[in-house]
Amino acid sequence: MVERRTVLQVSGVLAVGGVLAACGGGAGSEPSGAAAGVASDAAGSSGEGAAIASVGDVPVGGGVVNDEVAIVVTQPSDGSIKAFTAVCPHQGCLVSEVVDNEIICPCHDSRFSAVDGAVLQGPATEGLAAASVVVQGDSIVLA
Ligand code: FES
């Protein structure tokens, strides 16, 4: 009887250990992925604010939409970085892309200037408000 209890306790420990090991492996892989994200964010920011985009990721004539902060960053001409709210003033959708210096809202196809956010095509009647950003090295940071 005593030996059986001992065996059960040992197997219970092994079972728990196996679960922990399994969890450890799973948890170990997730944080390392998250750590990579944090590392890239940290690497992308050299000031107090987090980088919302990298200059190298913003093509001339195009742009990058950062969904997390709802900002669209554009580069209408080489070296000229602009930023605007990504929230369309028509009905609040997020703009989705920038093509040929036009910021496009996918909901009803309003288009805005990548230079100053002005309406190029409705149904939106108001432009995109400018956002203040600064370029720090290759990082674009909210000012
Ligand atoms: Fe953007 Fe309608 S919400 S065009």
Quote the strand ranges of the chain, DSSP E. 51-54, 63-66, 71-77, 80-85, 97-99, 102-104, 111-113, 119-121, 133-136, 139-142
Tokens representing 139? Answer: 């990082």
As a whole number of angstroms, the distance between CA 6 and CA 30 comes to 36
Cα 39 to Cα 28, 42, 77, distances in angstroms: 16, 5, 30
As a whole number of angstroms, the distance between CA 102 and CA 109 comes to 11
> In a mutational test of the pocket of ligand 1, which residue from 65, 94, 104, 107 has the highest number of ligand atoms less than 8 Å from its CB?
107
As a whole number of angstroms, the distance between CA 32 and CA 38 comes to 10
Given a cut of 70, whether residue 120 has pLDDT beyond it is yes
State the closest ligand 1 atom to the C-alpha of 110, by its place in the atom list counted from 1. Answer: 4
Domains of the chain, start order:
4-142 (2.102.10.10)
State the closest ligand 1 atom to the C-alpha of 105, by its place in the atom list counted from 1. Answer: 1
The residues lining ligand 1, judged by C-beta closer than 6 Å to any ligand atom, are: 88, 90-91, 93, 105, 107-108, 110, 123-124
Tokens representing 94? Answer: 């997020």
pLDDT at position 49 is 73
pLDDT at position 42 is 37
Query: How many percent of the chain have pLDDT more than 70?
Result: 66
Residue 141's pLDDT band (cuts 50, 70, 90) = very high
* 24-70 residue pLDDT tens: 333 333 333 333 323 333 333 334 578 999 999 999 999 999 999 99
